[in-house]
Amino acid sequence: MDLATLSGKIATGRIGYALSRLVPATPIWEREWDVCCVLDGCRLDLMNEVAAAGHPALPDDDAVDSLWSVGSQSAEWMDRTFAPEHREEMARTAYVTGNPFSSQSCEHILVTSDEVLPLSVDDFAVFHEAWRDDWVDDDISTIPPEPLTDAAIAIWRAREELGVDRVLVHYMQPHAPFRSRPGWFFGSADIEHWGQFTDDASAGDEADFDPEALSAEEREALEALAAAEEEDDGGDAMNDPWIKLRNGDLSFDAVWAAYRDNLEWVLDDLARLLANCDGTVAMTSDHGNAIGEFGVWSHPPGTPVPSLRRVPWVVREGRDRGTCDAALPDGVRTDGDPDADGDDIESRLEALGYR
């Protein structure tokens, strides 16, 4: 087994899980914001690059700050961001999400607890799972940023009637699939299987990995397994551009350009949000994406690698110029009924196979 493979096994295994807990992470609740936009899977250096190019939604690159995320994968981030100790903040927050992990128990992800996921309408002042109604299956299967921005604008404008102090918006971009490269993806973001193609199903085995305890025969067998995985990634390589990049099936320049285009896609819509929301608008990410640092690729949970855990933190001041006429999403009520549409949500979960 080469050094990079061994390093990756350690970083994503039991030792990595333990070290990940020691990262001095900052929950978003400890920062000041009125509207916080989570750009799923955004690396800090990518945000700096787009800021330096002068994107109108961003300040210059010198003004792009950072923080250490509470997780290296979306479900892990949700598990810690919405932990019981943050219930008071959540009770006055609207959460608009395009990430379907909000409805999954994520029992297969060892670093998550059994106290948080799946989320429910009782957890927030307003809980809107935009992916249920606005997911698209065209050239790529994902949720575009526009319906999340519309929902965030409408909810923020109605915040007094809704009992909302803050709006948290979880966009799916720049996370794959990439709009500029639909041919790379073959149903990989299919909503019923969201997350399964980027999460290592063998994480339980890796958590027990101890290289010093291997016998000569075990080491030889593991090296053979690693060689086999390089030839056939069990389907992951077909779906995950970061694994394709690792395997040499895609070039770095091509992946990075598509990744950047996805970030510009969501930032273009954030410029619209900034023009229709009064208040402090923050932009950050739940995690980054590793491109070989410490032998790690993509974004496995419980991994303390800086390229995954150190994420952007950008603050802009928004001003509502009334350029967008956004309506409250169906199911978001202003009559103070916390149980509104509860049965409808449960039926949709059941239809998607989550119940």
Gap between the Cα atoms of 214 and 335, Å rounded: 62
Gap between the Cα atoms of 12 and 308, Å rounded: 12
**pLDDT tens track for 282-319:** 999 999 999 999 899 999 999 989 999 999 999 999 99
Gap between the Cα atoms of 300 and 158, Å rounded: 38
pLDDT category at 190 given cuts 50, 70, 90 is low
The overall longest dimension of the chain from CA atoms, in Å, is: 69
Q: Which residues pair with 95 in a beta bridge?
A: 127, 168
Q: Looking at residues 120-146, what average pLDDT do you find?
A: 94
Domain that holds residue 75: 3-351
Q: Which residues pair with 290 in a beta bridge?
A: 298
**pTM of model > 0.85:** no
Mean of all residue pLDDT scores within the chain? 82
Is residue 107 predicted with pLDDT exceeding 50?
Answer: yes
Is residue 156 predicted with pLDDT exceeding 90?
Answer: yes
Is residue 202 predicted with pLDDT exceeding 90?
Answer: no
Is residue 345 predicted with pLDDT exceeding 70?
Answer: no
- What CATH number is given to the structural domain containing 79? 3.40.720
pLDDT category at 195 given cuts 50, 70, 90 is very low
Gap between the Cα atoms of 27 and 104, Å rounded: 21
Among 59-68, 101-110, 164-173, 175-184, the minimum mean pLDDT is found in: 101-110
pLDDT category at 109 given cuts 50, 70, 90 is confident
**pLDDT tens track for 208-254:** 445 556 566 555 554 544 444 444 444 444 579 999 999 999 999 99
Q: Domain total for the chain?
A: 1
pLDDT category at 142 given cuts 50, 70, 90 is very high
Percent of the chain with pLDDT over 70: 73
> Residue 60: its pLDDT value, please?
87
Q: Which of 4, 1, 22 is nearest to 291 (CA)?
A: 4
Q: Looking at residues 185-206, what average pLDDT do you find?
A: 46
